[in-house]
Amino acid sequence: MAEFAESAVVRRASTRDATRAHAPAADAVGALMPLTDISALPWRALSGRASEPNGYYLPDWELAVNASARGRGGAAALCAWGDGAGLIGLLPVISMWRAYKIPLPALVSADPYGTLSTPTLDRDLAEDAAVSLMQQARRSGARALILRDVSLDGAAMNAFSNVLRRGGMQPRILQSHLRACLDAAGDADDLLRDALGAKKLKELRRQRNRLAEHGPVQFDVARAPRDVAAAVDIFLELEASGWKGKRGTALGQDAGDAAFIHRATSALAETGGCEIVTLRAGDTPVASAIVLRHLDRAFYFKLGVDERFAKFSPGVQLTLDLTRHLCADPAIGMVDSTANPGHPMIDPIWRGRLAIGDVLIPLRRRDPVVALIRAALILRKGLRGPARRLIHLVRKRQEKSS
């Protein structure tokens, strides 16, 4: 029934509406201020007052992404300014055409090289900020705002929902999932025992003892800028040595990506927003991870391991040490894994769950073009599944014939 209702709404969108919808798709972002024109100083001040943490939209991270990360440059900015309060809201955006190759007038949260795009809103003026961001998007010619990978139960989404409700509208969840997180306020050993059980922990201790035969096992945390600069090179080398390197997706394999991660981690280390953790057996690094910090939350960005030590589970061993490290830090209340749902390594260890999703924010009441935008996204999602299965089948046949 829902599909028929959706189709009827789309058919009622006139040809004139559809034509007008196509025209401003490329211009909507061009009418906004480039992200590079936003001063980092008010952005940092806003981040300190944020209603909800998001390490991936900190200025030192997102400006580094925008400057050189592969395929992620050229973002624009939706900004909300308060009367005498300075910057009260910010969201980096790109056009719907660039995000999905769909020529319709919507703005989409920019990809921050991390799976979280929760807008930065002033905690005391969150709804005012949401109103201003929506008004600016509307003035640019957009008919909808699409928030990708946003925290569905967080303060920022609550602010947008309240604003929409007062205007007789509601957000539309396009997709949602649960991903692993860690309640860092608890005792680490109790959390790990409850998650993994005594038998699994015993096996991991056995593997760690075997790893120690290659040298004393040591967990190091790099926080100072100089230490972070050295540790990120170790991380990049480990990441490129594994399956990501074989696929060509490791950060260090692209000059722009490598420049981004060097710049971002060094800048964030200056303000305590980044640390790099490394597990060593003697002098040999066997696993390394980048962790971002914002307010009372940490974000587990990426992990690299030396696969020569795979039988000792170096990534799991590092994650156990990281769990103890973050649970012992009174400044951190929760850790977002930022991992895909059902991740085989992190899900069994961190048993907390965060609701994450893509949300469609209408900018006008009863706008038929919004229904067109939503239907186009549903159709795109429906086509991607069969296309991916076909590609997988072709690859399997190629592997068998080679």
Domain boundaries, the chain: 2-180+355-401, 185-332
pLDDT in tens, 316-345: 999 999 999 999 999 999 999 999 999 999
Q: Does 8 have pLDDT greater than 80?
A: no
Using CA atoms, how far apart are residues 358 and 282, in angstroms rounded to an integer?
44
Residue 215 DSSP symbol: S
Is the CATH number of domain 2-180+355-401 3.40.630.30?
Answer: yes
Q: Does 390 have pLDDT greater than 90?
A: no
Is the CATH number of domain 185-332 3.40.630.30?
Answer: yes
- Reading phi first (left if > 0) and then psi (alpha if -120 to 50, else beta), residue 343 is in beta
- Reading phi first (left if > 0) and then psi (alpha if -120 to 50, else beta), residue 112 is in alpha
Q: Do domains 2-180+355-401 and 185-332 have the same CATH topology?
A: yes
Residue the block writes with tokens 């939503």: 374
pLDDT in tens, 67-105: 999 999 999 999 999 988 799 999 999 999 999 999 999
CA 365 to centroid of chain Cα atoms: 30
Give percent of the chain above pLDDT 70.
88
| Inter-residue long-range contacts of 35-42, CB under 8 Å, 24+ positions, other chains counted | 35/62, 35/63, 35/66, 35/75, 35/76, 35/77, 35/92, 35/110, 36/63, 36/66, 36/67, 37/77, 38/77, 38/79, 38/90, 42/86, 42/87
pLDDT in tens, 280-320: 999 999 999 999 999 999 999 999 999 999 999 999 999 99
DSSP assignment of 386-398, as one string? HHHHHHHHHHHHH
pLDDT in tens, 208-244: 999 999 999 999 999 999 999 999 999 999 999 999 9
